[in-house]
C-alpha cells in the first residue's frame, strides 16, 4: 500500500471511527472548541513524531496548536487506526466492542495540518537528523519525538506465535483482546482463569487488578463456580490498594484468589499449565502479561540507556539522555511517573511546549506539572478512581508526586462508573480529535 492509499484509508477510518469511537458523546466538540493552528508565531522547524498512540498523537497536535503553521509535523505510524488500551478490559465483559475503541488519524491531518506517513521505521540517524523508513524514504528533522509504547519479553514456553495466540497477554488492545474475550466466553461453569502480572514498571498500574475484577464479575454472573487466580510478580497490589483489596476480599470474595510474590518459570500452552513458585497450576484460560520494555525502535537505536530496557530522559523537555535532538515520551520513557495514557498525554504537552520554546531559542519551562487520573471498573456498573499530581524537583531532576495530592476513591460507586466514560471521551478528544 502506498502513502496516498494510507491517507484515503486514514480519512475513511477517521470518518467511520469518530462516529463509532465517540459514540458515547452527547455531542461532538466544534472546531472552535478544539482550537486552530495559528499562522504567525514566527516559530519554524521540522518535527518528526514516531508512534501515534496517546503520547504521539497528542504531541503532534499540540506542536501545531502551540507552534503554529511554521512547525512542520510529520507523524509516522504503522497502523491505520489507534486501538485504545483504556476501556479495553470492558471488551472482556462485553460492554465495549473493539470497534468502539478505534481512533483514526484523519482529524490530526485535516484539522491541524499534520502530515501522516504510514510506515515502519528502520533507523534513526541522530547525527544526520533523519529517520529512515522501510520503503527507503528518509524524513529529515530538526527535532524527533519517539513514542513507540512498549514491547514484551517472552515467557519461557510461549516462544511460538501459536502459543502466544493460545495464551494471550491482551495488554496491547487489538486482536488479542478479542481472543481473550472469546476464551472467557468459551469457559464452562467451575472453570479456572489464571492471569499473571509482571513486576513494575508495566503499563497502567491498576489495569491488571481492574481486569481481574471485570473478569470475576462476569464469571460470577455467567459461569458460576469459576475462579480467577491472580499471580502477581509484585509483593502486593501496586495501585489503588484500598479499592482492590476490598474488591478481592469482599466484592469478589471466593472468586478472586490473589497471590503476590509470584514467579512464573514457564507456561505450557498445549497442556494449559503454569510452572510457578506456587507449584504447577492448570487453567482453562491463561492470560499471561509478560514483563515490559520500551518499543523496539528505542532499543534498536541506542536510546534504551536505563537498564537496557527504557529511554532515559530529561523531564523538562523529554529529551533523550542518550542522543541530543531526540525526545522520548509515553510508556517508553524511564521516569518516576506511571506508564499510562492520561499522563502520556500530559508528558506530550510538556514536550510540545519545550520543543516550541527550543525552536524559538527559549529555555523550557523550569517547573512543569503533570497529572495522572483514571477510573477502574470493579463491577459492570461500579468503578473507583485514582489520581496523582507530579511536580518537577530540581534537586533530583525528576517529577515527584506532590505530597497530599495523590489518592484513590474512598469507595467504588456507580457515579464513578458513569464519570469514567466522560473522562475517556474527553481524554481521547484531547489526543485524537
Quote the CA–CA distance of 430 and 199 in Å, as a whole number.
31
One character per residue 10-49, x = contact with other proteins (rule: CB under 8 A):
------------x--xxxxxx-xxxx-----xxx------
Minimum distance of other proteins from residue 28's CB (angstroms): 7
14/198 with CB nearer other proteins: 14
34/179 with CB nearer other proteins: 34
182/426 with CB nearer other proteins: 426
Minimum distance of other proteins from residue 403's CB (angstroms): 9
Minimum distance of other proteins from residue 361's CB (angstroms): 7
Quote the CA–CA distance of 131 and 1 in Å, as a whole number.
20
116/427 with CB nearer other proteins: 427
Minimum distance of other proteins from residue 416's CB (angstroms): 8
- Rg over CA atoms, the chain: 22
Minimum distance of other proteins from residue 314's CB (angstroms): 16
Options 45-53, 114-122, 162-170, 399-407: segment touching other proteins (CB under 8 A): 399-407
With 0-12 / 13-18 / 19 or more C-beta atoms within 10 angstroms meaning exposed / middle / buried, residue 50 is buried
**Contact partners, residue 417, CB within 8 Å, separation at least 6:** 375, 377, 381, 382, 383
277/363 with CB nearer other proteins: 363
- Residue 242 binding other proteins, by CB under 8 A: no
Residue whose C-alpha cell reads 492470560 in the numeric block: 287
Minimum distance of other proteins from residue 375's CB (angstroms): 8
8 Å CB contact between 319 and 313: yes
Minimum distance of other proteins from residue 280's CB (angstroms): 42
What's the grid cell of residue 250? 469482599
82/385 with CB nearer other proteins: 385
- Residue 404 binding other proteins, by CB under 8 A: yes
**Contact partners, residue 396, CB within 8 Å, separation at least 6:** none
Residue whose C-alpha cell reads 518537577 in the numeric block: 392
CA distances from 341 to 267, 279, 320, 389 (A): 30, 36, 20, 15
Minimum distance of other proteins from residue 242's CB (angstroms): 13
Residue whose C-alpha cell reads 523508513 in the numeric block: 133
- Residue 425 binding other proteins, by CB under 8 A: yes
Options 7-15, 178-186, 271-279, 417-425: segment touching other proteins (CB under 8 A): 417-425
CA distances from 300 to 118, 123, 191, 318, 344 (A): 20, 8, 42, 19, 22
How many residues interact with other proteins (rule CB under 8 A)? Answer: 55
Minimum distance of other proteins from residue 29's CB (angstroms): 5
Residues 59-78 contacting other proteins, CB under 8 A = 62, 65-66
- Residue 123 binding other proteins, by CB under 8 A: no
Quote the CA–CA distance of 290 and 308 in Å, as a whole number.
17
123/389 with CB nearer other proteins: 389
CA distances from 115 to 31, 235, 236, 358 (A): 19, 45, 45, 21
122/426 with CB nearer other proteins: 426
Q: Beta strand pairing status for 130-133 and 102-104? A: unpaired
- Residue 402 binding other proteins, by CB under 8 A: yes
221/418 with CB nearer other proteins: 418
Q: Looking at 328-374, list the stretches that DSSP marks H as alpha helix, in order from N- to C-terminal side.
A: 341-359
Edge-to-edge strands, sheet with 138-140: 121-125, 130-133, 138-140
Q: Which of 147, 5, 133 is CA-nearest to residue 62? A: 147
Residues 340-379 contacting other proteins, CB under 8 A = 342, 345-346, 349-350, 353, 356-357, 360-362, 365, 368-371, 373
285/359 with CB nearer other proteins: 359
- Residue 142 binding other proteins, by CB under 8 A: no
Q: Beta strand pairing status for 130-133 and 71-77? A: unpaired
Binding site for other proteins (CB under 8 A): 22, 25-30, 32-35, 41-43, 62, 65-66, 342, 345-346, 349-350, 353, 356-357, 360-362, 365, 368-371, 373, 385, 387-391, 402, 404-407, 409-410, 419, 422-423, 425-427, 429-430
Amino acid at each position: 500500500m502506498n502513502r496516498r492509499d494510507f491517507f484515503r484509508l486514514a480519512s475513511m477510518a477517521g470518518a467511520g471511527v469518530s462516529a463509532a469511537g465517540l459514540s458515547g458523546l452527547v455531542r461532538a466538540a466544534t472546531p472552535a472548541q478544539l482550537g486552530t493552528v495559528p499562522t504567525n508565531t514566527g516559530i519554524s522547524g521540522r518535527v518528526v513524531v514516531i508512534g501515534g498512540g496517546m503520547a504521539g498523537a497528542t504531541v503532534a497536535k499540540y506542536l501545531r496548536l502551540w507552534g503554529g503553521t511554521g512547525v512542520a509535523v510529520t507523524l509516522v505510524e504503522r497502523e491505520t487506526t489507534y486501538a485504545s488500551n483504556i476501556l479495553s478490559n470492558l471488551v472482556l465483559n462485553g460492554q465495549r466492542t473493539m470497534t468502539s475503541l478505534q481512533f483514526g488519524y484523519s482529524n490530526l491531518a485535516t484539522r491541524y495540518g499534520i502530515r501522516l506517513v504510514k510506515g515502519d521505521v528502520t533507523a534513526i540517524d541522530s547525527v544526520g537528523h533523519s529517520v529512515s523508513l522501510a520503503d527507503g524514504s528518509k524524513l529529515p528533522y530538526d527535532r524527533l519525538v519517539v513514542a513507540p509504547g512498549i514491547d514484551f519479553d517472552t515467557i519461557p514456553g510461549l516462544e511460538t506465535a501459536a502459543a502466544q495466540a493460545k495464551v494471550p497477554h491482551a495488554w496491547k488492545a487489538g486482536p488479542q483482546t478479542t481472543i481473550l474475550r472469546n476464551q472467557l466466553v468459551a469457559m464452562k461453569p467451575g472453570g479456572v482463569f489464571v492471569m499473571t502480572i509482571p513486576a513494575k514498571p508495566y503499563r497502567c498500574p491498576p489495569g491488571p487488578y481492574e481486569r481481574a475484577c471485570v473478569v470475576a464479575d462476569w464469571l460470577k454472573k455467567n459461569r458460576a463456580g469459576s475462579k480467577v487466580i491472580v499471580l502477581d510478580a509484585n509483593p502486593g497490589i501496586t495501585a489503588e490498594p484500598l479499592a482492590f483489596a476490598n474488591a478481592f476480599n469482599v466484592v469478589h470474595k471466593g472468586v478472586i484468589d490473589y497471590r503476590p510474590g509470584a514467579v512464573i518459570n514457564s507456561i505450557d500452552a498445549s497442556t494449559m499449565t503454569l510452572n510457578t513458585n506456587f507449584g504447577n497450576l492448570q487453567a482453562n484460560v491463561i492470560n499471561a502479561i509478560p514483563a515490559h520494555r520500551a518499543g523496539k525502535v528505542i532499543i534498536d537505536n541506542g536510546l534504551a540507556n536505563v537498564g537496557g530496557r527504557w529511554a532515559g530522559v530529561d523531564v523538562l523537555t523529554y529529551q533523550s539522555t542518550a542522543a541530543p535532538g531526540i525526545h522520548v515520551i509515553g510508556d517508553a520513557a524511564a521516569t518516576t511517573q506511571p506508564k499510562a495514557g492520561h499522563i502520556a498525554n500530559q508528558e506530550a504537552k510538556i514536550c510540545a511546549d519545550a520543543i516550541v520554546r527550543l525552536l524559538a531559542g527559549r529555555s523550557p519551562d523550569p517547573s512543569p506539572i503533570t497529572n495522572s487520573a483514571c477510573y477502574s471498573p470493579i463491577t459492570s456498573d461500579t468503578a473507583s478512581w485514582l489520581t496523582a499530581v507530579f511536580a518537577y524537583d530540581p534537586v533530583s531532576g525528576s517529577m515527584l508526586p506532590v505530597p497530599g495530592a495523590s489518592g484513590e476513591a474512598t469507595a467504588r460507586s456507580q457515579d464513578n462508573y458513569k464519570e469514567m466514560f466522560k473522562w475517556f471521551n474527553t481524554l481521547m478528544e484531547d489526543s485524537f480529535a
